[in-house]
Amino acid sequence: MRVRHFVCWCTVAALPQLALAARPPGQLGALQAVFDFCSKVDPAQQAAFHTEAKDEYRGLTPNQIAAIRNGSEYKRGYNLLSSSLPNLKADDAKSGCVALVPTKPVNLGLEKRP
């Protein structure tokens, strides 16, 4: 059981890099499933997950996005992860989702001012 969780989170961690490389529809679908799941697990970060999901489609027209989302490969990737992610323990899910959101740099006021 732990091996399955480990493999699942390794896949989740690798998906953003793979999606940026070539944007295959199946991986975009899987990423969308992760962002949708994480929005439910951590509602406070819902806007950040939405932004991350939107960034995956950067450079595509609305018609291209619709075509991708209606494709069978996208749906297969989405269904694959959306059916397995709810099986994670709540603590594992929350910590995995937190890792997906980029942290904002802390402004310490040390930068030079003109």
- Gyration radius (Cα) of the chain, Å: 16
Q: Give the total number of structural domains in the chain.
A: 1
For 64, phi then psi, to 5°, come to: -65, -40
Report yes or no on 105 lying in a domain. no
Report yes or no on 73 lying in a domain. yes
For 39, phi then psi, to 5°, come to: -65, -30
Residues 24-66 have pLDDT tens digits of 999 999 999 999 999 998 888 889 889 888 888 888 899 999 9
Report yes or no on 9 lying in a domain. yes
Cβ neighbours for 9, distance < 8 A, ≥ 6 positions apart: 92, 96
Report yes or no on 111 lying in a domain. no
Q: What is the pTM of this model?
A: 0.68
Write out the residue range of the structural domain in which residue 13 sits.
2-99
Report yes or no on 114 lying in a domain. no
Q: What region, left, alpha or beta, does residue 63 occupy, with left being phi > 0 and alpha being psi -120 to 50 degrees?
A: alpha
Summarize the chain as % helix, strand, coil (round to 5).
75, 0, 25
Report yes or no on 113 lying in a domain. no
Report yes or no on 91 lying in a domain. yes
pLDDT (0 to 100) of residue 21: 42
